[in-house]
């Protein structure tokens, strides 16, 4: 399960990322509650707008971010992007503590953070391949998800307590400090132990080249369609949990943070199960979509807060099984020289759909209630399972060559 830890650089990266991810989840939870409870009157639409602005840059900048990831020194790029995100966390914290925070200001910071995150995402995703051998890549991707979601267990619960006791502004400043751990880890990585990856040169048509590569891979296209459905309409848990904790069950920020942590129990389990598998298989993407739909249906119809919380565990497990397997499959079956551009397209579809999905889910939640908002996630899971069924039928009709991938990533 932890075989990638044999690489010293990856161990350093993992520890730095874990600390930084805890801070990131603390800020996400504090920001969601700041908008939902302090800057609006439990307005789920406003939360959806903040989420949308945070991911909107993915739609426009991701292709160029992928080109940069394939062309430039990824370690140096990460130093710049991580520093920028630390500065934004500090700025938002200072604004809240100074009493000048408003919805408009939070919108502006969310958009700026989205720009930095868009440039950071494909670099961070593909940098892992420089720290471990190809045989360990799927495991390393799964362990990255484990780190992110272990932090999701700790961060929201800590944020719920801290917001209630000292306020959201201090939580943002604490996140600034956790970025220091990530920057220290990047600086501690030994350059001589990194694997040399082929770089793309300067030239015209590099974005089109990446799109053409994906277009010639029906298996990747099917994965991207599933990721779009789940990422756009299924993973709006900031909206779902705030609406269920507040208006539906009449609870406060501590409950909101606790529900995020319970969800993370499932996501960590999903990531660890993915880490145990030798290779990423598409059956886990599509089977996970069906389980996700069933779990969200159970949560949406839960009669009590306790039952709702219990359903969040399989919701988290299935969603992380989908995301981790899809990420590892795309990375491990893509040519190294194309990996940055393909992963930027992956991240654009996964995160760039949020500006469409989050406001829609927020509006449905405001208009029809939190339970109907979660019904959108049910439909997204069913859609992902349907894509898998159609892809399987195509393979049956035309033979394995219709969706051929390198042997390590066979469906």
Q: Is residue 166 scored above 80 in pLDDT?
A: yes
What pLDDT was estimated at residue 297?
A: 95
What pLDDT was estimated at residue 401?
A: 46
Tell me the mean pLDDT in the region 128-152.
78
When the pLDDT of each residue in the chain is averaged and rounded to a whole number, the result is 82
∠ CA(264), CA(243), CA(294), 5° rounding?
55
Least confident window among 104-113, 121-130, 148-157: 148-157
Distance CA(78)–CA(310), nearest Å, equals 37
Give whichever of 60-74, 118-132, 318-332 has the largest mean pLDDT.
318-332
Report the 10 Å Cβ neighbour count for 164: 14
Distance CA(39)–CA(306), nearest Å, equals 28
Distance CA(294)–CA(130), nearest Å, equals 38
Q: Is residue 205 scored above 60 in pLDDT?
A: no
Q: Is residue 405 scored above 90 in pLDDT?
A: no
Interacting residues of 113 by C-beta distance below 8 A, sequence separation 6+ = 54, 85, 88
Least confident window among 83-97, 126-140, 276-290, 395-409: 395-409
Distance CA(19)–CA(38), nearest Å, equals 27
Least confident window among 71-75, 81-85, 187-191, 353-357: 353-357
Four-residue CA torsion sign, 155, 152, 10, 272 = positive
What pLDDT was estimated at residue 372?
A: 92
Which tens digit of pLDDT belongs to each residue from 7-35?
999 999 999 888 888 888 788 878 877 88
Domains of the chain: 1-191 (1.20.1250.20), 206-398 (1.20.1250.20)
What pLDDT was estimated at residue 1?
A: 75
Q: Is residue 291 scored above 80 in pLDDT?
A: yes
- Residue-wise over 324-359: b if at least 16 C-beta within 10 A, else e? bbbbbbbbbbbebebbbbbbbbbbbbbbbbbbbbbb
Q: Is residue 113 scored above 60 in pLDDT?
A: yes
Which tens digit of pLDDT belongs to each residue from 243-270?
888 888 888 777 887 887 888 788 778 8
Q: Is residue 160 scored above 80 in pLDDT?
A: no
The pTM of the full predicted model, rounded to 2 decimals, is 0.67
- Residue-wise over 10-26: b if at least 16 C-beta within 10 A, else e? bebbbbbbbbbbbbbbb
């Amino acid at each position: 399960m932890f075989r990638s830890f044999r690489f010293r650089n990856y161990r350093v990266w993992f520890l730095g990322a874990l600390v930084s991810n805890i801070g990131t989840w603390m800020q996400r939870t504090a920001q969601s509650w700041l908008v939902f409870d302090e800057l609006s009157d439990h307005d789920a639409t406003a939360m959806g707008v903040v989420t949308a602005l945070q991911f909107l840059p993915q739609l426009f900048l991701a292709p160029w971010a992928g080109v940069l990831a394939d062309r430039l020194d990824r370690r140096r790029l990460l130093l710049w992007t991580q520093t920028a995100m630390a500065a934004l966390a500090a700025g938002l914290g200072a604004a809240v503590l100074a009493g000048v925070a408003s919805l408009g200001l939070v919108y502006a910071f969310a958009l700026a953070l989205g720009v930095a995150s868009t440039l950071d995402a494909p670099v961070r995703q593909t940098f892992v391949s420089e720290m471990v051998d190809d045989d360990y890549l799927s495991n390393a991707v799964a362990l990255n998800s484990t780190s992110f979601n272990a932090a999701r267990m700790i961060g929201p619960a800590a944020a719920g307590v801290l917001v209630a006791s000292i306020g959201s502004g201090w939580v943002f400043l604490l996140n600034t400090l956790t970025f220091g751990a990530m920057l220290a880890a990047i600086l501690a990585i030994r350059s001589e132990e990194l694997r040399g990856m082929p770089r793309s040169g300067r030239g015209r048509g590099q974005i089109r080249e990446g799109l053409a590569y994906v277009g010639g891979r029906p298996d990747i296209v099917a994965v991207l369609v599933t990721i779009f459905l789940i990422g756009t309409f299924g993973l709006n848990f900031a909206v779902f949990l705030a609406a269920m904790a507040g208006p539906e069950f009449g609870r406060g920020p501590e409950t909101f943070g606790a529900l995020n942590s319970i969800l993370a129990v499932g996501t960590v389990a999903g990531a660890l199960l993915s880490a145990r598998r030798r290779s990423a298989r598409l059956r886990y993407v599509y089977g996970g979509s069906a389980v996700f739909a069933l779990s969200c249906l159970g949560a949406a119809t839960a009669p009590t807060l306790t039952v709702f919380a219990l359903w969040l565990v399989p919701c988290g497990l299935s969603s992380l099984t989908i995301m981790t397997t899809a990420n590892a499959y795309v990375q491990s079956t893509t040519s190294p020289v194309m990996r940055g551009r393909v992963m930027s397209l992956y991240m654009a579809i996964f995160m760039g759909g949020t500006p469409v999905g989050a406001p829609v889910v927020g509006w449905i939640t405001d208009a029809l209630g939190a339970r109907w908002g979660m019904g959108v996630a049910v439909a997204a899971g069913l859609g992902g399972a349907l894509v898998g069924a159609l892809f399987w039928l195509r393979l049956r009709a035309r033979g394995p060559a219709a969706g051929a991938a390198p042997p390590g990533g066979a469906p």
